[in-house]
Structure 1
Amino acid sequence: MRARIVPAREEDLPGLLEIERLSHPNPWSKAAFLGELSHKSARLWVAKVAGLPRGFISFWLVLDEIHILNLAVHPQVRRQGLATSLITLALKYGRRQGAHLAWLEVRPSNKAAIRLYQKLGFVATGRRPGYYQDTGEDAIIMKLSLRDHEA
């Protein structure tokens, strides 16, 4: 799939909100996305296919770490490599900026995401009990050493 990954802009929000709503049981609000657009540590990138938002990644770069906060791909284009492209680009960016570690949290029930993260080299390092407020589900904490990873 040919996608162009670019920094998100406010005019991308309707598409991002649709992807978010279709992808997560407790979707981020418009205000949350606006906060990501305006925060100095945040990066919000959108993958566009034929000019339409079809996926996004939100991550923070703080000191020498990347924290991936949100990743979603429109259901119509899942399993075509878009999520891998988004994460890989974020990891490359982080390495160029001097990051040494990447972190994320994932629901234990999200088996597809866990497989993707493991394929990319992330390893589970712990749990955050009751992390997801909507279900009370724990979060699996996963990390990737960017020193050992060829992003």
Structure 2
Amino acid sequence: MFVVRQATKSDAEAIYAIETDSFSTPWSLESVIRELEEQNERIYFLVEEDGQAVAYAGAWMVYDEGQITNIAVRPESRREGYGAIVTRKLIKELFNRGMTEIFLEVRISNIAALALYRRLGFTVKGIRKSYYTNPTEDAYIMSLVKEETL
């Protein structure tokens, strides 16, 4: 049994653990804590399976645009739909809060993430050269406009 809920500051260590298991250049624990403290400008959701954090997603809200910061799933819980579940919840909440367009960046080589984002309606808008490090790689800039989700 899983639940999806808004993350709080008390979830920082669980999110940080997923972060370090998922990214070659993870955010620091301090950065995760700061993100969770800024509830007016940021929103994060956590998926728990049997009480254990298995996925999270977060975004910044700037005027009427959402910027997805990170989406991550524990390696042992991937390919079970948690990424899609938490991302859909985040998208719905961003649109409910008045965002009209949502952006994200994704490694060009991240085929699984690209497939997910395309299934959810995101389209490629451009490329950020050498956006990622460790290894250096370009990123696609993708966006989802509210009307496209109807």
Report the TM-score, using the length of structure 1 for normalisation.
0.92
The AA in structure 2 aligned to 1:102 is I
Q: Among all aligned residue pairs of Structure 1 and Structure 2, give the percentage whose two residues are the same amino acid.
A: 32
Structure richer in strand, relative to its length: 2
Shift of 1:147: 1.4
Matches within 5 A, 1:95-106: 95-106=95-106
Contact 1:107 1:137 (8 Å CA) reproduced? yes
DSSP-derived class of the 1:55 partner: strand
Match of 2:87 in 1: 87
Give the whole-Å Cα distance in 2 for the aligned partners of 1:130 and 1:14: 29
Match of 1:136 in 2: 136
Matches within 5 A, 1:11-26: 11-26=10-25
Contact 1:91 1:146 (8 Å CA) reproduced? no
Matches within 5 A, 1:1-151: 2-39=1-38, 40-150=40-150
Give the whole-Å Cα distance in 2 for the aligned partners of 1:89 and 1:11: 20
Shift of 1:47: 0.8
The AA in structure 1 aligned to 2:83 is A
Give the whole-Å Cα distance in 1 for the aligned partners of 2:63 and 2:133: 28
Shift of 1:134: 2.9
Give the whole-Å Cα distance in 2 for the aligned partners of 1:108 and 1:3: 30
Number of residue pairs the alignment of both structures matches: 149
The AA in structure 2 aligned to 1:135 is P
DSSP-derived class of the 2:127 partner: strand
Give the whole-Å Cα distance in 1 for the aligned partners of 2:10 and 2:96: 28
Bigger CA drift: 96-105 or 5-14?
5-14
Report the TM-score, using the length of structure 2 for normalisation.
0.93
DSSP-derived class of the 2:27 partner: coil
Cα distance per residue 1:83-106 (max 9 Å; x no partner): 111111111112212211110000
Shift of 1:11: 2.6
Give the whole-Å Cα distance in 1 for the aligned partners of 2:63 and 2:3: 27
Task: Mark the runs of 5 or more structure 1 residues left unpaired by the alignment.
Answer: none
